[in-house]
Amino acid sequence: MNLFSLEGKVAIITGSTKGIGLAIAIRMAEHGAKVVISSRNQDACDEVASAIREKGGVAIAIACNINYKEQLQELVSKTEQQLGKASVLVCNAALNPYFGPSQDISDEAFDKVMHANIGSVHRLCQKVLPGMAEMGGGAVIIVSSIGGLKGTDALGAYAISKAADMQIARNLAVEWGPKNIRVNCIAPGLVKTDFAKALWENPEIYEATVSKYPLRRIGEPDEIAGAAVFLASAAGSFTTGQTIVIDGGGTIAS
Amino acid sequence: MGQQDNNNYVTNSLFSLEGKTALVTGGSSGLGLIMAKGLLCNGVRVVIASRNQEKCDMAFTELSEFGECWALAADVTDSEDRARLLQFVEEKLGGLSILINNAGANWGAKLEEYPDDGFAKVINTNLTAVFSLTRDAVPLLSKSATAEDPSRIINIGSMDGIHVPIVQRVPTFAYSSSKAALHHLTRSFAVELAARHITVNAIAPGFFESKMTDYVFEHYKKDIEDDCPLHRVGRPEEMVGIVTYLASRAGAYTNGTVIPVDGGTSISKGRRPWTE
């Protein structure tokens, strides 16, 4: 058997209609997983799922706003009805409504970040992990960020939520390890997605940005998707509770 | 099909190592032998090195079944041997796209009896020799490196370089210190060599079955399993998996990291009070 095969596994990927989530969904489908495409917009989900099916993969589309517990439950229930219990969960959807000093963030914006970015991961894991244990084990991959590793004067609440992801991974790795469930984070640096377009579209801004990174370039979505496939597959089956930083060396160099 | 073709659902180009070249130090036994075998199975041409000629010969016989392989008896702590080894690699492989610094030593003794020369020997093998061999291998690694497909250095650290070992009835002061230092050397090299299209990462294994762990498994296997959230020791393919990830297209932007492959042991709080 191929070490990186995900043949037959059901994988839920939140925020998978663009960027990193999309790359993860495409690569997981390519490696044999039955993928659940999910984001707030049903049309966008349908489009991605049908594109994957056209290329020979198995994919369904279930829209879900991660802010609502009932919708998270729907996501899990519909997945079970249509494909069976998930043995791979990728918590990728997150939001960042505020840019500026922590001094000035409103209570509403702060709570919104914690509720969506930390709360949804916690709640989705609560709903998915018991079923995963029944399947004999599985893998959870939380897409965190290098923002959770350093101090910041502009992305404070977001960075707190991304640091929390790393602790969720450690907690759940210890709690669910005996049931053969592994929980890890990926902490990407700057990646070539729409989310970061402002930083790579303009050549001058791009050069100024990457001059601080040892590899002198930003990452490609596939370079994050590769780690996700690794962590979900037999190749990564002794790695748990960890955060894999993928930033070309940016964090250790600064 | 193209290297980055998303349209093919059969092969997986993301993890392909086809056509690469590798040097594995300490490659005649234990984790080194496992990693060498894994690379060969994935189409990599491999040179292994280890001190003992007889063990090299045995490993060569075993590995040759899986692909194109060479073995050279060489001591990485000896500068003449290092030069001879790198010359051998250049002759056989032309360049070098993967360097796995795996050769390691250990010394266990009670604190009062822990000798200076034992401590020095471990630091010399696990840290200093890695620095020297890597420095001298940079020209060969550069030769095979491109911006799209950087050459990879993979240092074999240890979870004991992250936490203080719990199964410590045989203290290993030098070993855990040398591995912590190796993790930081990994970061230094990662920053230094990135501009030359060489990435540097470390794997921090937990317990795997190998000659080095025979003794502790005999005495403490249950403790080891209890301390590990996954309640088991590592399997050979799990070392092959992480090496394949780091050496392939999938790992091309991963640089300066230390990735524990320890079943969660190093992030778990100790379950047992340790006294003796």
Q: What is the DSSP code (8-state) at residue B241?
A: H
Candidates A238, A246, A253; nearest CB to B262: A238
- State the Cα angle at B220 between B214 and B221, rounded to 5°: 75
Q: Do A230 and B242 touch (CB under 8 A)?
A: yes
Q: Which residue of B has its CA nearest to A212?
A: B191
Interface of B with A in 137-166 (CB under 8 A): 147, 150
Digit-coded pLDDT (tens) for B167-190: 656 778 999 999 999 999 999 999
Characterize the bridge pairing of strands B45-50 and B21-25: parallel
B7 touches A: beta carbon within 8 Å: yes
Characterize the bridge pairing of strands B69-73 and B198-205: unpaired
Q: Do A235 and B147 touch (CB under 8 A)?
A: no
pLDDT given at position B135: 98
Do residues B50 and B73 lie in contact, with contact meaning Cβ atoms separated by under 8 Å?
A: yes
B269 touches A: beta carbon within 8 Å: yes
B30 touches A: beta carbon within 8 Å: no
Region of A224 (left: φ > 0; alpha: ψ -120 to 50; beta: rest) is alpha
Measure CA B264 to chain center: 19
List phi, psi (to 5°) of B10.
-100, -65
- Check pLDDT > 50 for residue A13: yes
The Cα A134–Cα B211 span in angstroms is: 36
Amino acid at position B176, single letter: S
pLDDT given at position B8: 37
ipTM of the complex: 0.90
Nearest to A12 by CA among A131, A188, A178: A131
Output the tens digit of pLDDT for each of chain B's 276 residues.
Answer: 233 333 333 345 899 999 999 999 999 999 999 999 999 999 999 999 999 999 999 999 999 999 999 999 999 999 999 999 999 999 999 999 999 999 999 888 888 999 999 999 999 999 999 999 999 999 999 999 999 999 999 999 999 999 887 665 677 899 999 999 999 999 999 999 999 999 999 999 999 987 767 777 887 888 888 889 999 999 999 999 999 999 999 999 999 999 999 999 999 876 555 444
List phi, psi (to 5°) of B36.
-60, -45
Q: Do A249 and B237 touch (CB under 8 A)?
A: no
Q: Do B199 and A236 touch (CB under 8 A)?
A: no
Q: Do A4 and B259 touch (CB under 8 A)?
A: no
CA distances from A72 to A109, A127, B80, B212 (A): 21, 8, 63, 47
The alpha carbon torsion through A212, A213, A214, A215 (nearest 10 deg) reads: -140
Q: Break chain A into its structural domains and give their ranges.
A: 10-247
* Active-site annotation holder among B9, B175, B220, B245: B175
Q: Do A3 and B8 touch (CB under 8 A)?
A: no
Indicate the burial class of A251 (C-beta count within 10 angstroms; 0-12, 13-18, 19 or more).
buried
Nearest to B23 by CA among B106, B92, B112: B92
CA atoms within 13 A on the CB side of A53: 11
- Asked which of A8-12, A148-152, A191-195, B99-103 is least confident by mean pLDDT, the reply is A191-195
Task: Report the topology of domain A10-247.
Answer: Rossmann fold (3.40.50)
The Cα A125–Cα A128 span in angstroms is: 5
The Cα B56–Cα B112 span in angstroms is: 36
Candidates A29, A215, A238; nearest CB to B261: A238
Both tokens of A88, joined, read: 């791979």
pLDDT bucket at A237, cuts 50 / 70 / 90: very high
pLDDT average, residue stretch A33-44 = 98
Q: Do B250 and A225 touch (CB under 8 A)?
A: yes
Min CA distance, A133 vs chain B (Å)? Answer: 13
Q: Do A226 and B14 touch (CB under 8 A)?
A: yes
Region of B82 (left: φ > 0; alpha: ψ -120 to 50; beta: rest) is alpha
pLDDT given at position B1: 29
Task: Tell me yes or no: is domain B16-266 CATH 3.40.50.720.
Answer: yes
Residues of chain A with C-beta less than 8 angstroms from the C-beta of B263: 177, 238, 240
Indicate the burial class of B158 (C-beta count within 10 angstroms; 0-12, 13-18, 19 or more).
buried
Residues of chain A with C-beta less than 8 angstroms from the C-beta of B266: 241
- Chains A, B: CB pairs < 8 Å: 173
Q: Break chain B into its structural domains and give their ranges.
A: 16-266
Active site residue A158: yes
Min CA distance, B185 vs chain A (Å)? Answer: 12
Min CA distance, A37 vs chain B (Å)? Answer: 17
Amino acid at position B162, single letter: I
pLDDT given at position B5: 39
Q: Do A237 and B238 touch (CB under 8 A)?
A: yes
The Cα B233–Cα B218 span in angstroms is: 13
The Cα A176–Cα A224 span in angstroms is: 24
Interface with chain B: mutation pick from A7, A215, A218, A223, highest number of B CBs within 10 Å: A215
Digit-coded pLDDT (tens) for A145-187: 999 999 999 999 999 999 999 999 999 999 999 999 999 999 9
- The pTM of this model reads 0.93
Q: Which residue of B has its CA nearest to A33?
A: B9
Amino acid at position A6, single letter: L
The Cα A85–Cα A105 span in angstroms is: 40
* Active-site annotation holder among A68, A98, A158, A213: A158
